Amino acid sequence: MMFDLLHTPLGPLPLADWLSWLFIVTGSFFAIVGALGIVRLPDIFSRMHGAGMVDTMGIMMILTGLMFQADTWIVVVKLALILVFIFFTSPTTTFALARAAIHGGVNPGPTVEELVEAKVIEDPQLDTKIEPTFDPKVKQEAKPSNT
């Protein structure tokens, strides 16, 4: 009976097309912004955050939107499985990329301790405040990439 249920045609869901529009347009927006981030962000570690937007929010919203277009439950199940697998594998690839960059000698940026030492931020603990620095050289070193 599980199989009959899988192939039961889904009845007309009210607003299904509108929900599809909503989710797919939202997902496309975040995918485009993520791609823009890959271009705009300055170095490989920052760019990974842009890539992360594409394969979390972009994938999630677009697949959810596609689920509203499904004729039978089996399509919904398959789309959900794709989503689950991407959510488990994409951090792994990001981690491998980060490891490769570190082994390749890319500087991932200043640590919190260095920032505190350079007086860019005040407190390493919870109450972090951004403090204006008066030494232009230190400021340039701490934010090398903000062009």
Partner 1 sequence: MLHAFSLGAALMVVWGLLSGMPEPLLMGLGVASVVLTVWIAHRMDVVDHEGHPIHLGPRALVYFPWLIVEIIKANWDVAKIILSPKMDIHPHIFKTKASQKSDVGLTTYANSITLTPGTVTITMDDDGIFEVHALTYGAREGIETLDMDRRCTAMEGMSKTDDKSDKTPGPTSSGPTTSGPTSSGPAS
* Interface with partner 1 (CB under 8 A), residue from 25, 87, 131, 135: 87
CA atoms within 13 A on the CB side of 110: 18
H or E stretch including 8?
none
Pattern of binders to partner 1 over 12-31, x per CB under 8 A?
Answer: ------------------x-
Cβ-contact 42, 145 below 8 angstroms: yes
Contact predicate 64/23, CB 8 Å? yes
Find the binder of partner 1 among 8, 15, 21, 42 (CB under 8 A).
42
Q: Which stretch binds partner 1 (CB under 8 A): 14-22, 105-113, 131-139?
A: 105-113
Interaction between residue 9 and partner 1 (CB under 8 A): no
Q: Is 85 in the site for partner 1 (CB under 8 A)?
A: no
Question: Which of 8-16, 17-25, 56-64, 132-140 is the region at the interface with partner 1 (rule: CB under 8 A)?
Answer: 56-64
Measured CA to CA in angstroms, residue 123 lies from 90, 110, 111, 118 at distances of 33, 15, 13, 12
